[in-house]
């Protein structure tokens, strides 16, 4: 893969030089998007529609162009009960395991719960925390438990994240734009600056990580 890889975006830009993992939802799926993840975000859990949503996710996971399940996860700062969130999250994990697709995770104030679920369900597929914004001890705990971390919005907006990003081994990070206006090239440039390496080296690092996580069963 000679392209830049965007681990998570809500904006499909169709640029030839970028492979975008576009976030899709089962209830508003766009067939025109070539590569995507699909999942039920904890904010949008609708129990009346749950079986339909899981059915659509399973259909799409069977397709090669569906690279991951997500974003899914847990969020303690919303009104949907955590037990409901866990039920929906675990149902999606089982599908990711069945089709051996990585998980792109949304996690707010629930890192211990996600680590516990990973251990409890003995999850074998790669799990990537997207939009990581926390401190070094949290990063280390996630890395020690086998997670990957993806950086984007907060790396650009919060200079204090510099040392956290520098502490992450090169074989365990991805880069993304999510919903920010800054370009993926800008995120790559900042990552190169923080790691004190050339952008070309960042590209190679991400390409290697992409192959390991997303192409391991092809």
Which residues are known binding-site members for a divalent metal cation?
A: 71, 106, 130, 178
* Angstrom distance (rounded) from CA 204 to CA 4: 9
Q: What is the mean pLDDT of residues 135-148?
A: 98
Instruction: Tell me the percentage of the chain whose pLDDT exceeds 70.
Output: 98
User: Which residues fall within 8 angstroms of residue 73, CB to CB, at 6 or more apart?
Assistant: 41, 42, 85, 89, 105, 106, 107, 110, 114
Known binding residues: 71, 106, 130, 178
Per-residue pLDDT, averaged over 37-57, amounts to: 98
Computed from CA positions of residues 23, 26, 28, 31, in that sequence, does the dihedral angle turn out positive or negative? positive
Q: How far is the C-alpha of 67 from the C-alpha of 91, rounded, in Å?
A: 18
Is the pLDDT score of 8 beyond 70? yes
Q: Is the pLDDT of residue 204 over 80?
A: yes
Q: In the predicted model, is pLDDT for residue 155 greater than 90?
A: yes
Which of 38, 100, 26 has its CA nearest to residue 69? 38
Q: Hey, is 33 helix, strand or coil?
A: coil
| pTM exceeding 0.95 | yes
- The CA-CA-CA angle for residues 117, 22, 206, to 5°, reads 75
Task: State residue 216's pLDDT score.
Answer: 77
Element (H, E) at 154: helix 153-157
Q: Where are the domains of the chain?
A: 4-214
- Check if CATH label 3.40.50.1360 holds for domain 4-214: no
What is d(CA 130, CA 148) in angstroms, rounded to the nearest whole number? 9
Per residue, what are the HEC states of 94-141? HHHHHHCCCEEEEEECCHHHHHHHHHHCCCCCCEEECCCCCCHHHHHH
Q: Are strands 4-9 and 36-38 parallel, antiparallel or unpaired?
A: unpaired
Inter-residue contact 118 to 146 (CB < 8 Å): yes
Mean pLDDT of 188-207: 97
| pLDDT tier, 1 (very low <50, low <70, confident <90, very high otherwise) | low
User: Do 94 and 206 form a contact (C-beta atoms < 8 A)?
Assistant: no
> pLDDT tens for residues 104-129?
999 999 999 999 999 999 999 999 99
């Amino acid at each position: 893969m000679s392209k830049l890889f965007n681990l998570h975006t809500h904006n499909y830009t169709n640029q030839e030089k970028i492979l975008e993992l576009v976030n899709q939802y089962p209830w508003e799926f766009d067939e025109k998007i070539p590569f995507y993840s699909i999942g039920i975000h904890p904010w949008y859990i609708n129990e009346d529609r749950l079986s339909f949503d899981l059915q659509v996710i399973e259909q799409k996971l069977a397709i090669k162009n569906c690279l991951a399940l997500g974003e899914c996860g847990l969020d303690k700062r919303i009104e949907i009960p955590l037990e409901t969130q866990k039920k929906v999250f675990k149902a999606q994990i089982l599908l990711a395991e069945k089709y051996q697709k990585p998980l792109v995770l949304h996690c707010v104030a629930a890192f211990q719960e996600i680590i516990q679920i990973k251990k409890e369900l003995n999850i074998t597929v790669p799990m990537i925390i997207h939009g990581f914004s926390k401190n070094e001890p949290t990063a280390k705990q996630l890395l020690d438990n086998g997670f990957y971390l993806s950086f984007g919005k907060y790396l650009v907006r919060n200079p204090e994240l510099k040392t956290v990003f520098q502490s992450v081994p090169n074989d365990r990070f991805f880069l993304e734009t999510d919903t920010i206006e800054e370009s993926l090239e800008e995120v790559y440039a900042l990552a190169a600056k923080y790691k004190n390496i050339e952008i070309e080296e960042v590209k190679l690092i991400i390409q290697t990580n992409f192959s390991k996580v997303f192409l391991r069963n092809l």
